[in-house]
Amino acid sequence: MKSILITGGSGKVGFQLVKHFLKKNYKVVTTTRNKKKFQENNLSKLESDILKNLNVIEVDFIENEAIEKISNYLVERKIILENIIHNARCLDFLKIEEDNSVSKENFSGEFYLDVIFPYHLNLSVIKQQDGELKNIVFVSSIYGIVAPTPGLYDDFNKSSPINYGVSKAAQIHLTKELAVRLGPETRVNCISFGGIKGRANDDFVKKYSSLTPLNKMLEEVDVVAPIEFLISESSSNMTGQNLIIDGGWTIW
């Protein structure tokens, strides 16, 4: 049975991935800061016969022992990971101050979550498993490639925190660095998604869609196929790449 770790499995992107890979008969390990909430909100959406392959770790990545907690969980259950999808996020770090700045704490917190923690988690898993990890995928964003468009937002300064894009840009370069340093045993790639429907109101969806050649935002389910491609043999010659799935947003 293939195995996969999906960080941030309770989010709208993360849960789509959890559900998909369970249905594909993967042993799925996912992380959440609130296991009870994850179970209450999501387990009813999953077929009972696939739940046996779901492993949920309650962990806050900001804790000093977070990586140790994940490592111990894997060892205790004899789980050998073949794939890691770095998808976790924390909306708390995206708060904007009254003067439209981002605090030092939130700036460093977002960078830690996107770059520093995934880096150390990768190394920990590789050291623990000695060559078994085949694929690492970072879930990034088009805002790691281009700056946001002010006219898209009713209040740009209050809606688009600078630390998000800067951290995502660093994540894209981390992908390249790790591809060099971890190959050929482990392939490392990244996906930069455009805007995904879910939280935005109709007016935002309309404005956003008008700025893409395909005239639409992504649906939640659209995140699945690109990630499945990057951990499959179909992409066996790809590493260090940033796959852009954005309806064409970044081409003009």
**Segment among 36-40, 74-78, 181-185, 188-192 with least mean pLDDT:** 36-40
Q: Which two tokens stand for residue 161?
A: 């925190």
| Euclidean distance between CA atoms 46 and 128, whole angstroms | 31
What count of residues does the chain have?
Answer: 252
Mean pLDDT, the chain, rounded, equals 95
Residue 219 DSSP class: P
User: 173-176 — which CB contacts under 8 Å span 24+ positions?
Assistant: 174/115, 174/118, 174/119, 174/138, 175/138, 175/140, 175/240, 175/241, 175/242, 176/240
Q: What is the pLDDT of residues 47-93, one digit of tens each?
A: 888 899 999 999 999 999 999 999 999 999 999 999 999 999 999 99
DSSP secondary structure string for all residues of 7-39 = SSTTSHHHHHHHHHHHHTT-EEEEEES-HHHHH
Would you state the pLDDT for residue 193? Answer: 97
Neighbours of 17 (CB within 10 A): 26
Reported confidence tier of residue 156, pLDDT bands at 50, 70, 90: very high
What angle in degrees, to the nearest 10, is found between the helix axes of 104-111 and 162-182? 30
Q: What is the pLDDT of residues 99-142, one digit of tens each?
A: 999 999 999 999 999 999 999 999 999 999 988 999 999 999 99
β pairing state of 54-58 and 27-32? parallel
Please determine, for residue 169, whether its predicted confidence score (pLDDT) is greater than 90.
yes
Average pLDDT over residues 8-18: 93
Nearest to 141 by CA among 119, 110, 179, 97: 110
3-state secondary structure of 218: strand
| Euclidean distance between CA atoms 204 and 13, whole angstroms | 19
Would you state the pLDDT for residue 149? Answer: 94
Q: What is the pLDDT of residues 196-249, one digit of tens each?
A: 998 788 999 999 999 999 999 999 999 999 999 999 999 999 999 999 999 999
Contact between 39 and 54 (Cβ < 8 Å): no
Would you state the pLDDT for residue 165? Answer: 97
The model's pTM: 0.95
